[in-house]
Amino acid sequence: MDVDKYIASGILELYIAGILSEKENLEIANYAKEYPKIQKEIEAIEASILELSRKASPGYNYSFAALMNRINGEVKVVDINEKRSSPLLSYIGWAASVLLAVGLFWMYQQNQDLKSDIEVVEKQNVDLEQQVADTDSSLEQTQELLNTLRDQNISVIALGGQAVSPTSYAKAYWNKKDQKVFIDAKGLPEPPDGFVYQVWSLKLSPLTPTSMGLLEDFSADENKVFSLNNPNESEAFGITLEPAGGSESPNLEQLYTLGVVATS
Residues that bind another protein (CB under 8 A): 8-11, 13-20, 22-23, 25-26, 28-29, 42, 44-60, 62, 64, 67-68, 70-71, 74, 122, 125-126, 129-134
**Residue number, 92 or 132, with CB nearest to another protein:** 132
Instruction: Tell me how far, at minimum, the Cβ of 60 lies from another protein, in Å.
Output: 4
**Residue number, 20 or 164, with CB nearest to another protein:** 20
Instruction: Tell me how far, at minimum, the Cβ of 255 lies from another protein, in Å.
Output: 41
**Residue number, 25 or 90, with CB nearest to another protein:** 25
**Residue number, 67 or 95, with CB nearest to another protein:** 67
Burial of 72 (0-12, 13-18, 19+ CB in 10 A): exposed
The span from the first CA to the last CA of the chain, in angstroms, equals 53
Helix count and strand count (H, E) for the chain: 6, 8
Instruction: Tell me the residue length of the chain.
Output: 264
Give me the torsion for CA of 186, 188, 190, 195, rounded to 10°.
-130
Instruction: Tell me how far, at minimum, the Cβ of 113 lies from another protein, in Å.
Output: 19
Instruction: Tell me how far, at minimum, the Cβ of 134 lies from another protein, in Å.
Output: 7
What does the alpha-carbon distance between residue 50 and residue 238 come to, in Å, rounded to a whole number?
54
Per-residue burial over 104-137, b = 16 or more CB atoms within 10 Å of its CB, e = otherwise: eeeeeeeeeeeeeeeeeeeeeeeeeeeeeeeeee
Residue type for position 7: I
The neighbour count for residue 182, using CB atoms within 10 Å, is 20
Where would I find the H helices in the chain?
3-8, 11-17, 22-34, 36-55, 64-73, 87-150
Instruction: Tell me how far, at minimum, the Cβ of 37 lies from another protein, in Å.
Output: 15
**Residue number, 2 or 248, with CB nearest to another protein:** 2
Instruction: Tell me how far, at minimum, the Cβ of 223 lies from another protein, in Å.
Output: 21
Instruction: Give the list of residues 6+ apart from residue 53 with CB closer than 8 angstroms, or none.
Output: none
Instruction: Tell me how far, at minimum, the Cβ of 122 lies from another protein, in Å.
Output: 7
Question: Could you give the C-alpha distances from 43 to 16, 166, 215, in angstroms and in order?
Answer: 9, 52, 36
Residue type for position 192: P
**Residue number, 21 or 153, with CB nearest to another protein:** 21
**Residue number, 50 or 163, with CB nearest to another protein:** 50
